[in-house]
Amino acid sequence: MAAPLPVSPLAPEAFPELPDIAGVRFATASAGVKYTDRTDVMLAELQPGTAIAGVFTRSKTRSAPVLDCQAKLGGDNSQGAAILVNSGNSNAFTGHYGQTSVEEITTAVAARVNVPVERVFTASTGVIGEPLPHERIIAQIDKLAAALEPGQVEAAAQAIMTTDTFAKGAGATLMVGGKEVRIAGIAKGSGMVAPDMATMLVYIFTDAVCEQSALQTLLSSLNDTSFNAITVDSDTSTSDSLLLCATGASGVDVAGNADFAAALNLVMLDLAHQVVRDGEGATKFVEIAVTGAVSDQEAKTHAMAIANSPLVKTAIAGEDPNWGRVVMAIGKSGAEADRDLLTISFGEVLVAEKGWVSSNYREELGVAEMKKSEITLSVDLGLGNGAATVWTCDLTHQYITINADYRS
């Protein structure tokens, strides 16, 4: 097995201290799905009454676990629920064997945790096209069920990692109507990230009360400007899944509550940004802000064209303030643009305006901005009021090294 990857230079100092969420317990185990020296299976048990919302990859080749989860959303939540996640194998592009694996795992979990099989959600992440050795996972279910306890969210985050170099978590506590409400989330994602829904895998838990349809509406809305506004390498995974679980243990109904929505948004943004900071081989965290488009959607189209451009991303890796590559990306996006109205800035440095390099621009100023580990690239199109912000990372030699050896 290849040596562990060095921790991303953009990683936070430590895993955050997250609030415990009443109504959810976690356990992890080593099933040896692919990895032999670490945990690779996570089980979460949710109390009866838990509402579950989700968004998933729109890939046309999405995996059997994704299809199964999509089919189960919105069902009766009067009984408990469970989530089981394995890393190392995505159970994608495995034909009818993929569905068989899902059925075997969900049936075993349902029997051991005493919940309906319709309330068991699974996810698999890792190599595509190899049958999932689900019998190894099933062999660990008794152990997992016996070990379930609250406060194990960091261990859960570690168990779902693949090429991630650090476990990802974010949380919030707020007061609603004089009572405390808690939110805690974990994520995994490092490569194959241009989500088209979420990142690779995200699980967010709250003790709030929220009816499923309202929870789903809120999640779908916030997803557009968080997990659906990041990209590492422009590739959409077959396995992207995001579940938001509201246990209701606090007794506080948050449907339509703006403060809760704002807190959840911050948690989702934090997790999304951590995925970018752990982009395979990343050394730069890049915010791309586009204004002046004819619509918000057109602004996002331009922003993602810039964020996904290999030429832009390699220039950033090389600390080269090459605004010509930004102009190129705008021109190819397909959204409306006028060359002679463009304004481009790197950080606070005005690089180009009215379709030409700024008279005050000095190359050393642009280079100084590119040497920073966190970079803001701003574009104003001069066409309207549309705006969007997305986040990405640079593209380095290490990305090629990681992915050239991924199945080895």
> What CATH number is given to the structural domain containing 306?
3.10.20.340
Same domain, 262 and 291: no
Is 8 inside any structural domain? no
| pLDDT tens by residue, 122-133 | 999 888 899 999
The total number of structural domains that make up the chain? 2
Together in a domain, 257 and 300: no
Identify whether residues 269 and 302 lie together within a single domain: no
More confident site: 236 or 79: 79
3 to each of 162, 165, 405, how far by Cα in Å? 13, 12, 11
Paired tokens of 1:
């097995």
Q: Which of 247, 278, 309 is the last residue of a domain?
A: 278
Same domain, 168 and 251: yes
Looking at the domain assignment, is residue 2 inside a domain?
A: no
Please name which of 15, 53, 37, 14 lies closest in space to residue 151, comparing C-alpha atoms: 15
Q: What's the pLDDT tens digit per position in 143-196?
A: 999 999 999 999 999 999 988 999 999 999 999 999 999 999 999 987 555 666
Residues 172 and 91 in one domain: yes
197 and 214 share one domain:
yes
The string of pLDDT tens digits covering residues 50-86 is: 999 999 988 888 899 999 999 999 989 999 999 999 9
Residue ranges for the known binding site for substrate are: 162, 188, 199, 280, 403, 408
Site of tokens 């990372």: 393
Do 189 and 242 have their domain in common? Answer: yes
Positions marked active-site: 199
Q: Domain range holding 244?
A: 24-278
Please check whether residues 47 and 133 belong to one and the same domain. Answer: yes
Say yes or no: 234 and 321 in one domain. no
**170: β partners:** 185
| Residue at a domain's end among 278, 297, 330 | 278
Cβ–Cβ < 8 Å for 336, 382: no
